[in-house]
Structure 1
Amino acid sequence: MTLSRRAALAAPALLLPALLRPSRAGAQGAYPSRPVRVVVPFTPAGTTDVAARIVSERLQSRLGQPFTVENRAGAGGNSGSDLVAKGEADGYLLLMQTVSSGAINYTLYGDRMPYRPDDLTEVGLVIRVPNVIFVTNSLPVRTLRELVAYAKANPGKLNIGSSGVGTSLHVTGELLKMEAGIQMSHVPFRGAGPMMAEVMSGRVEVAVDNLPSAIGHIRDGRLRALAVTTASRTPALPDCPTTAEEGYPGVEATGWFGFQAPGRTPRPIVEKLGAEIDAIVKEPATKARLADLGGMMPGLTPDGGTSPAAFTAFVRTEIAKWGDVVRRSGATVE
């Protein structure tokens, strides 16, 4: 038998595995064909968790597979984010990213940061939210100006809580101390839930949180809101003044929450998920749920929505912005 004849006879056997194996395009076209994990890098009950569950519920309904939320808190959001950054890039592992672990921490942690921006790829921004400065009801202050006066009269006696080192809440507190010239001891927690429990008990006097996770307690009177950190008041809490109205325009901060995936996730999957998230955030019912929590539309595209490319450009801008804030405020990992 000549070599060419042997090759011809062997060809069908060599081709059979390839014919039986699904093509990459076919596999992507069928996505998702099994459950998808959504990692939240903070504890339950915070804004990150709430937003992730709202959108995951809709993704599950629209795509026909479970999108299961899994809380992996630690290191200011870095632990859960690193899990995804180093995870399987097949579309079945997603991250609900935040301004802290998605922008602030790159400067705050420096060489200790376990992942870099290129280790993750942006899928879609879900909401942007104000931060809110609030106090325990037993503290005898009702405005931000009164809090500053109280802190100056009682230097070093107040604690200010956040949901973790490196969060926008931590940095907002540092900005307030810097702009107002006051001393308060930062107390980081492993999420918004434990932090708010301590403020409501009076063991921590002051705190900063994203409005969506704090607004229920504020509306019920369990916490006293002093100011939101956006340029204008939020319709979700219309009687609460801004930090600028209270005399501190430099204390401006907006939290954001969006989906990322491991950096090498196939582009067709990223684009498909991005289109689904864009559609979800524009749904009237979803918009109403997020707005009631104090959330604002992504606003990255001309129609107010989101896309993977627009979210990537936004994240790069945020990394630069918050890097400058960290350096100016002198915030450190405690």
Structure 2
Amino acid sequence: MPAPTHLLIPYSFRRKGILLGALLGILLTACQPRHEQAAEAATPPVGHYEGSLNAAGQPEVRATLDIRHPSPGHYEAEFTAPGTLSFVADTIVFSNNQLRLIRPARPGQTLALTLEGDFWRGALTLDSTRATTILVKRGVPTPSTYRAEEVPQATGSAWLFTPADTGTPGAALALLPDAETAPTAAIWADALAREGLIVLLLPPTDSATAAAETPRLLAAVRLLRGTAGADTANVGVWATGARAAAVAQLLTTAEAPRVAFLMAHNMAVGPASNAVLRELRRRKLAVLGLYGGTTASQRATALRNALGGRRGGTVLTFRTAGPDLLRPDGGAFGPGLPGAVVEWLQGK
């Protein structure tokens, strides 16, 4: 896979990683970097910056910013803060000492800063929430955690999150959120990539049928198997809501890609899905059930019974979290998360 490429528009550096060729009109195949235009102004100052983040009514927290220049014409920026606020920027815009970073798959989360000597001053904005920050240069940037690459498709962009350290093969998964969980899916991609897992985040779709999901999943699994650092024997899928039921069904068909596991998130279980789940159990496919919200226990019991009790798969419930497994009162991960998910993925 080529190194990340950034497009200056001008002085704007945007990742446009792998372009895949069409598979049934879904993904583009060719791997090609975007054309880089010459920069005429100063580029972002490389370094490691430390400081604080302050939101109204919240305690002050520590924050860091690393700006890296790994190769000519390529810049990377990684913002780190507690909870779910950390991200590796997809877009870096720098002009007249003004820096703007945009989070992959969450365009509503931006970090806007003004350079004043060795200081950055500005604010982190997440939709309607705003937190001010001041960061001072402390030395050279720390090594990168992961990289995020945009994968254009016919129906919107997917995002490939790959750990910077690919020396040890790790699990890889296609993350298929539904409309309810899509707004925060990038938070999960960030958390898993920081733990050495490869994540391909696909956009939500209006349809959730086995026929509609089959070409997308075939292309996704093929991409993941070809990604540096992927354990090709440990590639799977995380699907939510109706997409989880559709993926479970397609995995029992002859057209299905070979996968090692299924993470069924908020999957509704009924008579139609029971036979599908029994077939997945017969095939010894590893299944992890995930449920959030006040009705998590009842829904989890239905999945556990369909899988054949505690021996048929692992089912986890997080009643104090929302459907996206984040706490409704601020967006932090639910209790025990993301650790429980990471532990299952790494210990299968």
TM-score normalised according to structure 1 size? 0.28
Q: Which has the larger radius of gyration?
A: 1
More helix by share: 1
More strand by share: 2
